[in-house]
Structure formats: C-alpha cells, structure tokens
Amino acid sequence: MPITVAFDVYGTLIDTHGVVVEIEKHVGNTASEFSRIWREKQLEYSFRRGLMQNYENFEVCTSNALDYTSSFFKIPLSRQAKEELLNAYKILPAFGDVKEGLIRAKESGFRMFAFSNGTADAVEMLLMTAGIRNLFLGVVSVDEIKSFKPNPAVYSHFLRKSGAVGADAWLVSSNPFDVIGAISSGMRAAWVQRSPEALFDPWGIEPTITVSSLSILADKIANEHAKA
C-alpha cells in the first residue's frame, strides 16, 4: 500500500502568527501576545465545542476567540477592524520550509491530503493563496462530521475519505494534541517541532518521528517504513 499522509494546516503548513502584521495596525506593540492568545482561545473553543457536541465551525471559533482576546486586552475593535483581522486569517502565509518539503514528499510517491479543523472552503483558499494546493490529492475537513480534533471520529473520517489504513497512514502536525489523537486512533504521526522551545505533552504517547523542518520529513517517513 502507498503511504498516505495527512498534513495538518493551521500551525503546521500555515503560519497562524502571520496575522501579526495586520494585528499591529489595530493594537500596536502588543500584537505578538494578542496573536498568541487569539490562537490559544481558538483551539480551546474548538476543544470545548467538540466535547459539548455543540458544534459551530472553525471560523466561528476563530471569531469568538477574537472577541475574547479583544476583551482580554481591553482593546475594543470596530466591526471593520474585526472584519479586516478575520479576512487576514483567510490568507495566512505558509512557513518557509513547506513548499520544498511537500514537493519532496510528493516526489517520494506519498498520497497527500490536507486535513484540518478548518472548513474545506477556508482550507482551499489558504492553500491556493500559499501556492501549494496542487501538491495535494484533496482536502479533508472535520466540518464534514461536525466535530474537531482530537476526537477519534475525525481520524476515522480521514481514513475513510482517503481510502487509507492506519498502518500506512501518517498525520503530520505541529500540534501535540493532534499527534497524540492520531496515534491513539491507530495512525502513525510526525511531530513538527516548529520551535526549539516547543514541548511535547508528557502523556507517555510519543510521536513516531519528530522533525524540525518539513524538508527532512519524506526521508524520515521512508526510513521508518523501511524498518517495518
């Protein structure tokens, strides 16, 4: 069976902090911290909605998180300012290693999919804007089953949609919760350690491999399969 690879999008392929430049226009020198809190709340709200089975899509989670962050910093945002920030989130840049890493993975014969908490339309726009959509066979969104990572159902959904089986399916993500979720569901997983300071959750569930850059991902996955 060919190797199937599910690439997480936000924070793995696409730099969610690429919105900082736009944030600076509205909040000044607190932009980096504003961006961090916004991202943390976005994920928290997706976790909570998944557990509560009170689904709203990822764009709603992102908007709600922006409202929270604005209140947290006591910086009111006009409707226009909020729209500008949310629109900026739709065209975030890819990390510098992404295109090269994806090309190498495709040349290695991997079946590649984007797999995201985001809606299919939002992910399609991000990938097109970043100039990498053509490297994927398709986009698989959790929105199709109205839940979020790391619900085991979303990984099963990916396997069904991609026609893959767990032993030959990999998740690639910079998010430890996503890596742990995929491994717990029978997939293999590569953790992309985007920062030397990034920590992996000490749950006793380790990533199959760890990479600091997508440029070495294809070789490490191939080497892991050669051991089997």
pLDDT along the chain (228 residues), means of 10: 95 96 95 97 98 97 98 97 96 97 97 98 97 98 98 97 92 98 97 96 97 97 86
CB 139 within 8 A of CB 158: no
Question: What CATH number is associated with residue 141?
Answer: 3.40.50.1000
Same domain, 152 and 54: no
Same domain, 73 and 102: no
End residue of a domain, out of 89, 116, 140: 89
Same domain, 141 and 207: yes
Calpha distance 81→1 (Å, rounded): 49
Question: What CATH number is associated with residue 23?
Answer: 1.10.150.240
Same domain, 101 and 84: no
Active site includes 8?
A: yes
Same domain, 28 and 137: no
Calpha distance 84→138 (Å, rounded): 28
Same domain, 22 and 10: no
Task: List the catalytic residue out of 8, 15, 97, 178.
Answer: 8
Same domain, 80 and 98: no
Please state the domain count of the chain: 2
User: Is there a cis peptide before residue 76, judged by omega within 30 degrees of 0?
Assistant: no
pTM for this structure?
0.96
Domain that holds residue 121: 4-14+93-227
Q: Give me 170's structure tokens.
A: 């990999």
Q: Give me 156's structure tokens.
A: 């099963």
Cite the DSSP H helix spans in the chain: 20-27, 31-52, 58-72, 79-89, 98-107, 120-130, 152-162, 176-184, 217-227
End residue of a domain, out of 74, 89, 104: 89
